[in-house]
């Protein structure tokens, strides 16, 4: 299966180098050199990964990142000359899966792309389909970031939905807190393990009939959490 990657980079020379190295690895590569064109391509095409420069003319990289996360779960690697820690953390918190600081080695860039794609493939994150749980009482649309409970859409934060997607993408697996952080937010996400407990508590209050006796997100004591599927998928 062909893997398609979109490079969003206003410096033509850097973009062409990225394209050359990625095509050498067998990836299909598309390019955008400004934010406006990037948004058009993202709306019209489906990419398996996006390399996103934050410093763009017109529509900023942060705005594009927010659009992507509002509409899809496409993995995103930030490419930035902004080396301040707060900028990196901000990018990761709004949904980037990883980052590369300029100047960078093209070989490092290729390896980071492979790592992010491998993580997505490893956990079989579902796309473009509804997951029906407990005879349809809970329905999850992974592609459009929606969860319905008894037919009513539940308001979830971006982080809450990422945790739900992680757990229900592999319902037989017990996830440690560290695995949830890495898969849902990326290895560079700045969070303590116990922050996951707070997110889980909030999710349970939104989707469980009895949050203290959870049916859909179960605690495995001493290990972590797993999806509870009710009667059937």
pLDDT band of 127, cuts 50, 70, 90: very low
Q: Are 208 and 216 in contact (CB under 8 A)?
A: yes
Q: Over 60: is that where the pLDDT of 161 sits?
A: yes
Strand order in the sheet with 146-149: 130-133, 138-141, 146-149, 152-153
| pTM for the whole structure | 0.57
Domain boundaries, the chain: 4-122, 130-227
Burial, 79: exposed, middle or buried (Cβ in 10 Å; 0-12, 13-18, 19+)? Answer: buried
Q: Are 107 and 21 in contact (CB under 8 A)?
A: yes
- Span 28-40, pLDDT tens digits: 999 999 999 999 9
Would you state the torsion angle of the CA atoms of residues 126, 131, 134, 135, taken in this order, to the nearest 10 degrees? -150
Least confident of 48-52, 221-225, 229-233: 229-233
User: Shortest CA distance to 200 belongs to which of 143, 159, 147, 142?
Assistant: 159
Q: Which residue has the higher pLDDT, 79 or 12?
A: 12
Domain 130-227, CATH number (from 3.40.50.800, 1.10.10.10, 3.90.1150.10, 3.60.20.10): 1.10.10.10
- Dmax (CA) for the chain in angstroms is 57
Tell me the pLDDT of the chain averaged across its residues: 84
Distance CA 51, CA 77 (A): 5
Angle of helix 61-71 versus helix 35-44 axis, rounded to 10? 10
Residue 36 neighbours by CB under 8 Å, 6+ apart: 58, 59
* Residue 164: predicted pLDDT: 92
The arithmetic mean of pLDDT across residues 141-147, rounded, is: 82
* Residue 202: predicted pLDDT: 94
The encoded tokens of residue 145 equal 């970031």
Q: Over 60: is that where the pLDDT of 96 sits?
A: yes
Distance CA 184, CA 92 (A): 11
Q: Which residue has the higher pLDDT, 133 or 230?
A: 133
Domain 4-122, CATH number (from 3.40.50.720, 3.40.50.280, 3.40.50.2300, 3.40.50.920): 3.40.50.2300
């Amino acid at each position: 299966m062909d893997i398609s990657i979109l490079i969003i980079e206003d410096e033509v020379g850097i973009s062409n180098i990225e394209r050359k190295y990625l095509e050498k690895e067998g990836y299909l590569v598309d390019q955008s050199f400004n934010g406006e064109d990037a948004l058009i391509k993202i709306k019209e095409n489906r990419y398996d990964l996006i390399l996103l420069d934050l410093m763009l003319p017109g529509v900023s990289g942060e705005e594009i990142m927010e659009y992507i996360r509002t509409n899809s779960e496409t993995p995103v690697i930030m490419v930035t000359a902004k080396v301040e820690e707060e900028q990196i953390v901000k990018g990761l918190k709004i949904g980037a899966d990883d980052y590369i600081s300029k100047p960078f080695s093209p070989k490092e860039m290729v390896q980071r792309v492979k790592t992010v794609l491998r993580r997505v493939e490893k956990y079989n994150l579902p796309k473009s389909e509804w997951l029906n749980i407990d005879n349809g009482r809970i329905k999850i649309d992974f592609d459009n970031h929606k969860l319905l409970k008894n037919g009513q859409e539940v308001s979830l934060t971006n982080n809450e939905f990422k945790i739900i997607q992680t757990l229900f993408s592999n319902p037989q697996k017990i996830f440690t807190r560290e695995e949830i952080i890495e898969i849902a937010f990326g290895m560079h996400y700045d969070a303590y393990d116990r922050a996951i407990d707070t997110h889980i508590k909030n999710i349970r209050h939104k989707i469980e009939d009895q949050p203290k006796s959870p049916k859909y997100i179960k605690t495995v004591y001493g290990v972590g959490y797993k999806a509870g599927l009710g009667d059937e998928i």
